[in-house]
Structure 1
Amino acid sequence: MPDKKNYWTQQRPDGKWESKREGATRASKVTDTQSDAWAHSREKATETKGEAFLKGRDGKIRERNTYGKDPYPPKG
């Protein structure tokens, strides 16, 4: 089940970068650069107290930031 508070940044087949809410069919923002799309995803995840995920060109998660209550806080 998708968590609608989370936002994903990934490259599209046309070479542009998109910021997309988890579970959405359309991108919330499409940009020419990865940094612009990543900034938008972090901003939206901050507003919803969710997580922002950054996928690299290879499809693997390169970075993720949690902006709400972290489900697994480190001890100590």
Structure 2
Amino acid sequence: MPNVHVVPSGDQWKVEVEGGAQAPSTFDNQDAAITSGTTLAKRLQVELIVHGKDGAIRMRNSYGNDPRDVKG
């Protein structure tokens, strides 16, 4: 299942699904993109990957398909 990414796009932010499974959505700020991306990742039960302005990964959250025997 493809993951959901929040990525910079000029002065805006996009929510993209890996492999182009869905057209990207564009937002004026990162917080709005993260909110939308979280909703989508939960619905698809995949990982949300948030990138910073430099493109580096800032945050990852998984919303499904986690192994059940993880210790911690």
Which interval holds the TM-score relative to the shorter structure?
Answer: 0.7 to 0.9
CA RMSD of superposed structures (Å): 1.9
User: Quick one: which amino acid aligns to residue 19 of structure 1?
Assistant: V
In structure 2, which of residues 4, 7, 10 is the aligned counterpart of residue 7 of structure 1? Answer: 4
**Higher strand proportion, which one?**
2
TM-score, length-scaled by structure 2: 0.85
Structure 1 segments of 4+ aligned residues over 6 angstroms from their partners: none
Residue of 55, 58, 70 corresponding to 1:59: 55
TM-score using structure 1 length: 0.81
Partner of 1:45: 41
Structure 2 spans left out of the alignment, 5+ residues: none
User: What percent of counterpart residues are identical?
Assistant: 31
Is 1:20 matched up with 2:16? yes
Please list every run of 5 or more consecutive structure 1 residues that lacks an aligned counterpart in the other structure: none
Q: Secondary structure at the match of 2:71?
A: coil
User: Which amino acid in the other structure matches residue 44 of structure 2?
Assistant: T
> As a proportion of its length, which structure holds more helix?
2
